[in-house]
Structure 1
Amino acid sequence: MDRLKALGRLLPRVIVAAAAGCGLGLVFEPHDHPWLAVIAVPLFLAALNGVSMKGGFLVGSAFGIAYYLVLVPWLSIIGGDAAIALAVLEGLFYGVFGALASQTLKHRLWMLWIPCLWVATEFATGSVPFGGFPWGRLAWAFSDSVLGRLAAYIGISGLSFVVALLGVLVYAVLRRRSAFSLRLVSLVVGVAIVGLTSLIALSTDGNGKTVTAAMVQGNVPGKGLEFLGRARTVTKNHMNATLDLEKQVLAGSQVKPDLVIWPENSTDIDPYKDVETRQDIETAVQAVKVPILVGAVTEGPGPNERQTTGIVWDPTTGPGQRYAKRHPVPFGEYIPFRDQLLPYIKRLEMIGRQTAPGVGPGIMPINGITYGDLICFELAYDNVVEDVAKGGAQILIVQTNNATYGGTGQPEQQFAITRMRAIETGRTVLIASTSGISGVIRPDGTVEHKSGQFVSDVYVASVPVRDGHTLATTLGGWPQWILSGLGIIGAALALLARRNRKQADPGTPPAPAPDRESVPV
């Protein structure tokens, strides 16, 4: 009976936390309301205030599950159960955050520890299991905001810290227990962060060189074709779009590119082994007489394995440099515990052969320019982007295939993530997609070109070649490590203080929390 009463008292907080999670999900594309973050975070903290660690876990889990259900409904394309499973898995991380934050809020330095603990939570979700799923980081929503410019200096994790800190400052202003001085300081600091950030101007100047590149979006056929015919049609679409480009160049209506970029899965048939696919690529390469970066699925390296690759196909020497995707998508491109799961989940057979991860960054020198190749989802992983940035990439390329998720909001979310990577690295990003969204993003995150979805699109751009590093790429992963470490230290200190309180008065039932406040409106 006592437990039922406790759950009844906790239920309003769970509801508020779930509402806050839904609100945070609306921060991202395709809804795109970034400033809801500084409302959702304080609502979540208000729901956590004064609860036990067990209560904090329930409240935090409700927040996280609701958050991911709103953030990634596009996963229901694979199956509603998959979307729910991912939301529950990621929600548990926020359950741990809630358990720790419920005690950290009682520490005198809670305003520092809480945003650091938020970064640690994002670090965890982006690392485990199976390499993590770093799709829900606060920073991704701010590509169109003045706050987004901070990513060039403090990276993605640093920007998430700042956004969480703004939420903490709003909470401090609205909290009933806050002294007037704390409210005033919080308000001044919050306004100062936004105001000073608006003064930041990001440069788009290069080193004096430019390169002209063509992004080819050949589009995909409608559903209903058998696999081999569909794959061949996709390759021929990209070949024909490239041939049309060359006709425009010969007619003088288009500038001749130095490089042509085809997207991920522009051929799903190994061009090293399939004569027809190789001939289609050769036809396009010989027409434009410049290298084409082809997105190809190749067989191997092991039996029943494949790799998602970018291959530089030269008009003189043929296929040369090759980059294999380092972060294939679990349950999308490979199946963890394959032998154990396949007998029970027949749907997984649709994935086919296991995609083997590549080794080494996608650094590709082509005609004197160093490109950094990133393939689809892996642009969300810090280590992959950091490796190409520190490896000397002067221009970034994203080869992607979002055809499965077209029209669901996922391509828009990925495009926003790509914009944040442009700001963080200070590099132009050239995006080629099979069916959209393709485009060009300048080093300050502004959009030069953005294609539609499920249309053919060829865009030629002259973009600056850049050599210098941003402070963010120089610092690399240090901000994330330091902030996460501080969050863990803060939680540990709060738990130690909790233990000391219990030891100081072991015979007395715990008193009601002194700060059972109403949720700020």
Structure 2
Amino acid sequence: MIPPDANDDVENDPGGNGPVRVDAAGTGAGATIPLRRRVARPALALGSGALVALSLPPWGFWPLALLGIALFDLTLRDTTSRPARARRGWLFGAGWMFLGMGWMVQLTGPGYIVAAAIFAGFHAFAAAIGTTLGRNGRWSVLARPVAHTLVEALRFSFPFGGVPLATLGMSQVGGPLVGVVRVGGVTLLTWLTFQLGFAIVPGVRGALRHMRETADGLPADDPVYRSTSERRAVTTALCLAVGTLAAAGFAPRGSDTGETLRIAVVQGGGEQGTRALDVPSIVVTERHLEATRTIAADPDLDLVLWPENTIDVENFEVSQEAAMIVAQADRLGVPIAVGLTEDVRVDGERRYTNAHVVVAPDGEIFSRYDKVRRVPFGEYVPLRSVIERFSSAVDQVGSAIAGTTPAVLDLPDGQRLATVISWEVFFGGRAREGVALGAGMVINPTNGASYTGTIVQTQQVASSRLRAIETGRWVAQASPTGFSAFVSPDGDVIDRTRQREQAVITSDVPLRDGSTWYVSVGDRPFIVALVLAMIGLLAADVRSRRSGSPARR
């Protein structure tokens, strides 16, 4: 047997002559590996990432994520070379990100390419780290899920405050694992999905080995069989997964207070793939006013909800648009929550705010929330002074001012709404903050009119579903051109509109109280636990190598 070198791939010779050494270029140091074999594993790594992407909305077949991860694990098992595994990790990430983040090209083509390549690089790093922690086969079934979950968690905060597009949690929103978000949010769901996916191949191998050894007369309780490291690791992995699912079954979900809000969500309709520069803001406002005028006065109605960015003025309070909103609020006798942008000047620079305000029937602006998490390259340009030296396209992107207030809006009757504006719904912490402050439900006013197709729209609905399950609250999503919907605390989508249609959907939304475990503790404890697990696995691997333990594959 040829001892593995840090820079070599070790593959099994198809002729039955045992492993041969293959250098980084794929040429044999002792034999030549056919081109099809050198291409097969990288191609499978790329395809496995594409399967994960296809488990995301709008395709949304959740088992494909587990299958993709299992196939990716298979591509890592024919080499001990850290660079080779890093390359395959990048290809896995590329298949996932370039397809799953496809809608981003409509926001910024160059940014889409750079972002997808960088996030694929995250998984290259995770594959390399997973190699270090499991280089001799010990505990790799635990190390790899931890490494890949940590780099996914990193995407929620870095770069540019986080770009959580096409996340693994979205892929599972329609599957049986999603309930764990009540325990640990998307971080825990991501780990569980990776853990189960990475356990498939060693689990099947262990079962087949057990059957073979039993057939050969080796009892299942033989000490040699019991001491197999991979078997112990798979058993540990499955016990952790089952324990996590059991915890989700016992986790609190919140409860109905007995009160309801009758909410009318307004969707003005219109073409998609349009930007603010293409359509005068007054046209968008008029479409939503036209739809609002179809709402009949109803003593049971409590709130009218408009989407994000439906009014664009310099000063809303003194604008004619405000007067038109007040007229409708007065006619209906209920407040209207409306999304607006206001132009402001900061140090001589033209900037704007992106806010949602509650307009009472008497004309008072009762409460206001300014969007805290801004869309990079959509609402502001990171490193603008550097990028504008190479491209004038940045001039088309304004500079939004980030809000600083908690993620809530209050209604005149004393009810509180957790408020996440568009992009913010991708971050679990925003809805969690509002619910922790006493909100009985969540609203998500959004604007997906700039994007054609359904990738961004369906991924946003999936994110609303995750926020509903995480917090144990109903979510009302309002979009100018689709999709608008109500989402139950179990993640069921109620009365979703079609794209481009003008519509008003109304529902009696039960208000809820009580906290899920995720609302109580957030993501941090689980990220810390993953980091500690990484450190522990690394320490165990170092001890194993120092003791000269034989490799087990």
Which TM-score bucket, shorter chain as reference?
0.7 to 0.9
Query: Cα gap change, 1:279/1:166 in structure 2, threshold over 3 Å: closer, same or farther?
Result: same
Task: Using the TM superposition, name which of 423-432 and 286-295 deviates more.
Answer: 286-295
CA distance in 2, matches of 1:222, 1:143: 26
Q: Who is 1:331 aligned against?
A: 377
Q: Which whole-Å deviations, capped at 9, do the CAs of 1:416-464 have from their partners, x for residues lacking one?
A: 1110110110000011111111110111111222111111111111111
Question: Out of 126, 137, 146, which is 2:156 matched to?
Answer: 126
Question: Out of 425, 429, 441, which is 2:475 matched to?
Answer: 429
Q: Secondary structure at the match of 1:372?
A: strand
Q: Who is 1:93 aligned against?
A: 122
CA distance in 2, matches of 1:4, 1:155: 41
Q: Who is 2:218 aligned against?
A: none
Task: Using the TM superposition, name which of 73-82 and 174-183 deviates more.
Answer: 174-183
Query: Cα gap change, 1:221/1:489 in structure 2, threshold over 3 Å: closer, same or farther?
Result: same
- Quick check: 1:345 aligned with 2:395? no
Equivalent runs, 1:368-447 vs 2, <5 Å: 368-447=414-493
Report the alpha carbon displacement of residue 11 of structure 1 after superposing the two structures with TM. Answer: 4.3
Q: Secondary structure at the match of 2:495?
A: strand
Q: Answer whether contact 1:271 1:296 (CA < 8 A) is retained.
A: no
Question: Out of 288, 312, 316, which is 1:238 matched to?
Answer: 288
Alignment-mate amino acid for residue 167 of structure 1: G
CA distance in 2, matches of 1:495, 1:344: 47
Q: Who is 1:44 aligned against?
A: 72
Task: Using the TM superposition, name which of 117-126 and 46-55 deviates more.
Answer: 46-55
Query: Cα gap change, 1:435/1:375 in structure 2, threshold over 3 Å: closer, same or farther?
Result: same
Equivalent runs, 1:66-85 vs 2, <5 Å: 66-85=95-114
- Quick check: 1:29 aligned with 2:57? yes
Q: Answer whether contact 1:293 1:310 (CA < 8 A) is retained.
A: yes
Q: Secondary structure at the match of 2:261?
A: strand
Query: Cα gap change, 1:224/1:66 in structure 2, threshold over 3 Å: closer, same or farther?
Result: closer
CA distance in 2, matches of 1:395, 1:329: 24
Report the alpha carbon displacement of residue 357 of structure 1 after superposing the two structures with TM. Answer: 1.0
Report the alpha carbon displacement of residue 374 of structure 1 after superposing the two structures with TM. Answer: 0.3
| TM-score normalised according to structure 1 size | 0.87
Q: Who is 1:519 aligned against?
A: none
Q: Answer whether contact 1:211 1:462 (CA < 8 A) is retained.
A: yes
Q: Who is 1:358 aligned against?
A: 403
Report the alpha carbon displacement of residue 223 of structure 1 after superposing the two structures with TM. Answer: 7.4
Q: Secondary structure at the match of 1:46?
A: helix
Report the alpha carbon displacement of residue 26 of structure 1 after superposing the two structures with TM. Answer: 0.6
CA distance in 1, matches of 2:503, 2:133: 51
Report the alpha carbon displacement of residue 192 of structure 1 after superposing the two structures with TM. Answer: 5.5
Alignment-mate amino acid for residue 404 of structure 1: S
CA distance in 2, matches of 1:226, 1:465: 35
Query: Cα gap change, 1:356/1:198 in structure 2, threshold over 3 Å: closer, same or farther?
Result: closer
Q: Secondary structure at the match of 1:131?
A: coil
- Quick check: 1:171 aligned with 2:201? yes
Q: Who is 2:25 aligned against?
A: 4
Task: Using the TM superposition, name which of 299-308 and 459-468 deviates more.
Answer: 299-308
Query: Cα gap change, 1:404/1:470 in structure 2, threshold over 3 Å: closer, same or farther?
Result: same
Question: Out of 86, 91, 101, which is 1:62 matched to?
Answer: 91
Aligned length: 500
CA distance in 1, matches of 2:410, 2:24: 64
Q: Secondary structure at the match of 1:403?
A: coil
Report the alpha carbon displacement of residue 89 of structure 1 after superposing the two structures with TM. Answer: 1.2
- Quick check: 1:268 aligned with 2:268? no
Q: Answer whether contact 2:483 2:496 (CA < 8 A) is retained.
A: yes
Q: Which whole-Å deviations, capped at 9, do the CAs of 1:317-361 have from their partners, x for residues lacking one?
A: 42231111111111111011112212321222211x301111122
Question: Out of 283, 297, 300, which is 2:327 matched to?
Answer: 283
Q: Answer whether contact 2:183 2:251 (CA < 8 A) is retained.
A: no
| TM-score normalised according to structure 2 size | 0.82
Larger radius of gyration: 2
Q: Who is 1:312 aligned against?
A: 358
Q: Which whole-Å deviations, capped at 9, do the CAs of 1:52-77 have from their partners, x for residues lacking one?
A: 22222211111111110111111222
Q: Answer whether contact 2:335 2:360 (CA < 8 A) is retained.
A: yes
Q: Answer whether contact 2:303 2:337 (CA < 8 A) is retained.
A: yes
Report the alpha carbon displacement of residue 495 of structure 1 after superposing the two structures with TM. Answer: 6.7
Looking at secondary structure, tell me which structure has more helix per residue.
Answer: 1
Q: Secondary structure at the match of 1:422?
A: helix
Equivalent runs, 1:86-165 vs 2, <5 Å: 86-105=115-134, 106=136, 108-165=138-195
Q: Answer whether contact 1:326 1:357 (CA < 8 A) is retained.
A: yes
Q: RMSD between aligned alpha carbons?
A: 3.1
Task: Using the TM superposition, name which of 389-398 and 101-110 deviates more.
Answer: 101-110
Alignment-mate amino acid for residue 76 of structure 1: V
Structure 1 unmatched ranges of 5 or more: 506-510, 516-521
CA distance in 1, matches of 2:422, 2:276: 24
CA distance in 1, matches of 2:250, 2:494: 20
Q: Secondary structure at the match of 1:263?
A: coil
Report the alpha carbon displacement of residue 487 of structure 1 after superposing the two structures with TM. Answer: 4.6
CA distance in 2, matches of 1:477, 1:486: 15
Higher RCO (CA-CA < 8 Å; seq separation 6+): 1
Task: Using the TM superposition, name which of 66-75 and 225-234 deviates more.
Answer: 225-234
Question: Out of 17, 23, 46, which is 2:45 matched to?
Answer: 17
Q: Who is 1:486 aligned against?
A: 532
CA distance in 2, matches of 1:328, 1:447: 26
CA distance in 2, matches of 1:280, 1:396: 26
Q: Which whole-Å deviations, capped at 9, do the CAs of 1:465-500 have from their partners, x for residues lacking one?
A: 111001221121234323431353156336745874
